[in-house]
């Protein structure tokens, strides 16, 4: 039997870290393209991208996303481009303003949960609008599963046609006040995927140093990794 390949997704920028946290964080579009290019040559197949304003704050500007996409297509041909529609870069429909660029994938939160100091709000009507835009532009969603019900909700949306493409699911663990890094939950998430979304692949994201733990777990169990 052939071993199953492990997809590596590189999250080059994230929504929050600044150069003062780590001078290697790529902020400008050209920095992001070159950082992704290095990861692509090292074996990454998916790039998960946020864009930033010149002052390093999170942005949802579709023009920045367009410039990034153009650079990535030139420097990393065949790489899968995934844009973030997460809530730190803006509120409401501005979060999905780049979807008409038709990236291969986009992140999608289908529920709400607590973050370290606030509520991560993904109201049902916004979730449905983002899903509809992804359908219109042929974008495959990566579901950010901050909790168990988010996997159930993704399966329901796939079953009732709100999601057209089988969703890729990311288990997010280690966010304070949301789901901790817990092997028992990780295994139950996997069993839930097999039960509710048998045609979907899944990966895992851990906050900070937890990513290494989660990468060990996904490699061991046939999931996909992030770095």
- Please pick, from the candidates 35, 59, 84, 215, the single residue that binds Zn ion as defined by CB under 5 A: 84
Residue 153 within binding range of a copy of itself, rule CB under 8 A = yes
Tell me the CA distances in angstroms from 220 to 6, 133, 197, one per residue in order.
Answer: 10, 35, 20
Contact track, a copy of itself, 119-148, x by CB under 8 A = xxxxxxx-x------------------xxx
Q: Which does 84 bind (CB under 5 to 8 A by kind): Zn ion, a copy of itself, none?
A: Zn ion
The answer to whether 10 and 46 have CB atoms below 8 angstroms apart is yes
Residue 180 within binding range of a copy of itself, rule CB under 8 A = yes
Residue 171 within binding range of a copy of itself, rule CB under 8 A = no
Residue 111 within binding range of a copy of itself, rule CB under 8 A = yes
The answer to whether 79 and 40 have CB atoms below 8 angstroms apart is yes
Q: In this complex, which beta carbon is closest to a copy of itself, that of residue 72 or of residue 197?
A: 197
Q: Which does 119 bind (CB under 5 to 8 A by kind): Zn ion, a copy of itself, none?
A: a copy of itself
Q: What is d(CA 38, CA 153) in angstroms, rounded to the nearest whole number?
A: 36
Residue 83 within binding range of a copy of itself, rule CB under 8 A = no
Which residues between 149 and 188 bind Zn ion (CB under 5 A)?
none
Q: What is d(CA 92, CA 127) in angstroms, rounded to the nearest whole number?
A: 9
- Please pick, from the candidates 182, 183, 216, 219, the single residue that binds a copy of itself as defined by CB under 8 A: 182
Residue 88 within binding range of Zn ion, rule CB under 5 A = no
Residue 37 within binding range of Zn ion, rule CB under 5 A = yes
Q: What is d(CA 129, CA 144) in angstroms, rounded to the nearest whole number?
A: 16
Residue 205 within binding range of a copy of itself, rule CB under 8 A = no
The residues of the shown chain that bind Zn ion, judged by CB under 5 A, are: 37, 75, 84
The residues of the shown chain that bind a copy of itself, judged by CB under 8 A, are: 111-125, 127, 146-149, 152-153, 156, 177-180, 182, 184-185, 188, 192, 195
């Amino acid at each position: 039997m052939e071993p199953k390949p492990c997809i590596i997704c590189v999250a080059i920028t994230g929504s929050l870290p600044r150069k003062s946290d780590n001078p290697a964080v790529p902020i400008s579009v050209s920095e992001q393209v070159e950082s992704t290019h290095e990861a692509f040559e090292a074996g990454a197949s998916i790039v998960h991208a946020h864009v930033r304003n010149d002052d390093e704050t999170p942005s949802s500007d579709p023009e920045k996303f367009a410039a990034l996409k153009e650079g990535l297509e030139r420097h990393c041909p065949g790489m899968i481009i995934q844009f973030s529609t997460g809530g730190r870069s803006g509120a409401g429909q501005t979060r999905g303003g780049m979807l008409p660029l038709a990236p291969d994938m986009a992140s999608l939160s289908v529920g709400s949960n607590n973050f370290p100091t606030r509520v991560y709000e993904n109201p049902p009507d916004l979730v449905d609008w983002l899903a509809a835009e992804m359908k219109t532009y042929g974008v495959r969603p990566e579901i950010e599963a901050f909790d168990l019900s988010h996997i159930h909700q993704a399966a329901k949306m796939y079953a009732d046609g709100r999601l057209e493409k089988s969703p890729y699911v990311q288990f997010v663990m280690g966010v304070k006040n949301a789901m901790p890094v817990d092997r028992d939950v990780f295994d139950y998430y996997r069993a839930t995927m097999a039960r509710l979304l048998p045609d979907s692949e899944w990966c895992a994201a851990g906050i900070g140093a937890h990513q290494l733990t989660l990468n060990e777990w996904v490699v061991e169990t046939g999931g996909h990794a992030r770095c």
